[in-house]
């Protein structure tokens, strides 16, 4: 990755475990497309009105030469599941990109 991963967390306390999960998932994306130039991840707890429980929104913006991949996922109750689902969706989109030619 040409630019270090940018991680933003809003509305919930900082978690080393969550940050480690995000960094690990971002590193695995590079295995599928080695020319990723940047990756921005935002995790936030969404305030819901007149409902109990928590909801987490994860946004991922991955850039490769000539293409930008944007993924938004929400999950009730678990930020880790929202991160996993968002990175799975990003991976599927990266899998659909043409492979860079070597040589």
Residue 90 half-sphere exposure toward CB, CA atoms < 13 A: 34
Q: What pLDDT does 57 receive? A: 94
Based on the number of CB atoms within 10 Å of its own CB, is 25 exposed (0-12), middle (13-18) or buried (19 or more)? buried
Across all residues in the chain, what is the average pLDDT? 87
Q: Give the pTM.
A: 0.85
Q: pLDDT value at position 96?
A: 85
Q: Is 66 exposed, middle or buried (0-12, 13-18, 19+ CB in 10 A)?
A: exposed
The dihedral through the CA atoms of 8, 10, 13, 15 has a sign that is negative
- What confidence tens digit (pLDDT) does each residue in 70-93 have? 999 888 788 999 999 999 999 999
């Amino acid at each position: 990755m040409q630019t270090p991963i940018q991680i933003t967390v809003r509305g919930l306390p900082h978690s080393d475990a969550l940050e480690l999960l995000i960094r690990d998932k971002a590193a695995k994306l590079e295995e599928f497309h080695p020319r990723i130039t940047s990756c921005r991840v935002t995790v936030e707890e969404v305030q819901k009105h007149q409902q109990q429980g928590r909801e987490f929104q994860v946004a991922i913006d991955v850039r490769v030469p000539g293409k930008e991949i944007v993924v938004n996922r929400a999950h009730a109750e678990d930020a880790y599941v929202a991160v996993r689902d968002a990175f799975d969706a990003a991976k599927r989109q990266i899998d659909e990109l043409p492979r860079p030619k070597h040589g």
